[in-house]
Amino acid sequence: MPVDDDLILDAAVGELRTYGLRRTSVDNVARRAGLSRATVYRRFENKNVLVQAALVRESARFFGEIVAAIGPLPTVEERLVEGFVVGLRMVRTDALLTRLLVSDPEELVPYLTLRGAGVIAAASEFLVEQYREAAGPPLGEGRDPRVLAEMLVRLAISFTLTPSGVVAVDDDAEVRRFAAAYLAPLLS
């Protein structure tokens, strides 16, 4: 009987929310999923690969919620601004991310930086897809929407990891002003 990766990833996210990165083990994920340890290891080579897959899937869920929030907005600029606002708000209130930032920052940071290629790639591809679906204007000669998307993802990660600064990331109006003044012009 084939094993659904979502069953394992659901168990991994549950373990991460409950115990954090350090205390989550492949054994506990397998137990929560009702599977053998060997079955989990056949699907995910090690804990790092499992956690990366769980974070990539959670990122996709996260971005799905953003799409629902910005879908009715008519212009790509409005979608970018509101998407940034909604994204930062969701980051501040997401149970998994909040848990990991508080309990395991030294464990989480590598998954968003040194081992963050999967999360950055998934988020960047999402933004490029949204840009194309919104029929965004051409960015100008030699400018690649993939580069702009990756830059926005890296900026969002920075705001997430270091929330205090000139831009008050806990104030939607302030984030909206920032995004309108500094991010939306990147589209022209």
65, 69, 75, 78: CA torsion to nearest 10: -100
Quickly state the pLDDT bin for 45 (edges 50, 70, 90). very high
- Would you say residue 1 has pLDDT above 60? no
Spatial CA neighbour of 124 closest among 107, 102, 94, 145: 145
| CB-CB contact of 80 with 179 (8 Å) | yes
> In the chain, helix, strand, coil percent, each to 5?
75, 0, 25
What is the distance between the alpha carbons of residues 135 and 113, in angstroms, rounded to a whole number?
Answer: 31
| CATH code, 47-187 | 1.10.357
Residues 31-59: what's their mean pLDDT?
Answer: 92
Instruction: Give the model's pLDDT for residue 14.
Output: 95
Quickly state the pLDDT bin for 2 (edges 50, 70, 90). low
- Would you say residue 139 has pLDDT above 80? no
* List of residues 6+ apart from 9 with CB closer than 8 A: 53, 54, 57
- In percent, the amount of the chain with pLDDT more than 70 equals 96
pLDDT tens digit string along 123-134?
889 888 888 877
Token code pair at residue 172: 């939607």
What is the distance between the alpha carbons of residues 40 and 29, in angstroms, rounded to a whole number?
Answer: 8
Residues 97-107: what's their mean pLDDT?
Answer: 85
Exposure of 176 in the CB half-sphere (CA atoms within 13 A): 7
Quickly state the pLDDT bin for 161 (edges 50, 70, 90). confident
Quickly state the pLDDT bin for 64 (edges 50, 70, 90). confident
Cα angle 172, 79, 90; round to 5: 40
- Would you say residue 181 has pLDDT above 60? yes
| CB-CB contact of 126 with 60 (8 Å) | yes
Q: Domain boundaries in the chain?
A: 47-187
Q: Give the predicted TM-score (pTM) of the model.
A: 0.76
Average pLDDT across the chain, whole number: 88
Q: How far is CA 166 from CA 120, 127, 163, 174, 175, in A?
A: 24, 25, 9, 10, 11
What is the distance between the alpha carbons of residues 133 and 13, in angstroms, rounded to a whole number?
Answer: 30
